[in-house]
């Protein structure tokens, strides 16, 4: 059997690979390992910041659209109310016209004159209201 040479007997002399590292060397090694991580974290933070800017911009656009929709909704409500009022006024006028026709058919000309006067007064009041509503 062949014997392997033995290690030197001077075990106390440190070899360069096994020598204890100084604090500065340890710090350098740690910084070398951390730099890529820090660079990556910085890139990620920058990307997150950009995403947050995009989100804020989209939120601003959504708020703006919502305000515009609310404004349109209010406008439509006013238009609907006006149409409803006009429809009610038209129904009332038609009812008076039919009453006038019925009174004339029945030869009740006094009643027809009274209803005609009421219709005329209603039309005048309606026109005055229309003018005041539109600021004329």
Where along the chain do its domains lie? 24-133
Assign 136 a pLDDT band (cuts: 50, 70, 90): very low
pTM of the model: 0.53
Q: How far is CA 111 from CA 91, 96, 103, 120, in A?
A: 20, 11, 6, 14
- The string of pLDDT tens digits covering residues 8-37 is 555 555 555 555 678 888 888 888 888 899
Contact 96, 115 (CB under 8 A): yes
- The string of pLDDT tens digits covering residues 116-129 is 999 999 999 988 87
Contact 99, 129 (CB under 8 A): no
Residue % of the chain over a pLDDT of 70: 80
Q: How far is CA 31 from CA 18, 19, 35, in A?
A: 21, 20, 6
For residue 78, pLDDT over 60 is answered with yes
| Phi-psi domain of 135 (left: phi exceeds 0; alpha: psi -120 through 50; beta: other) | left
Q: What is the pLDDT of residue 74?
A: 98
């Amino acid at each position: 059997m062949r014997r392997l040479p033995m290690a030197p007997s001077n075990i106390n002399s440190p070899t360069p690979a096994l020598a204890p590292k100084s604090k500065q060397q340890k710090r350098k090694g740690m910084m070398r390992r951390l730099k890529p991580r820090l660079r990556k974290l910085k890139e990620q933070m920058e990307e997150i910041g950009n995403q947050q800017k995009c989100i804020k911009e989209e939120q601003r656009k959504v708020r703006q659209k919502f305000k515009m929709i609310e404004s349109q909704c209010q406008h439509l409500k006013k238009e609907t109310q006006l149409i409803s009022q006009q429809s009610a006024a038209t129904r009332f006028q038609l009812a008076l016209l039919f009453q006038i026709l019925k009174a004339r058919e029945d030869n009740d000309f006094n009643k027809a004159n009274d209803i005609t006067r009421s219709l005329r007064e209603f039309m005048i009041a309606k026109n005055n209201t229309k003018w005041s509503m539109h600021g004329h």
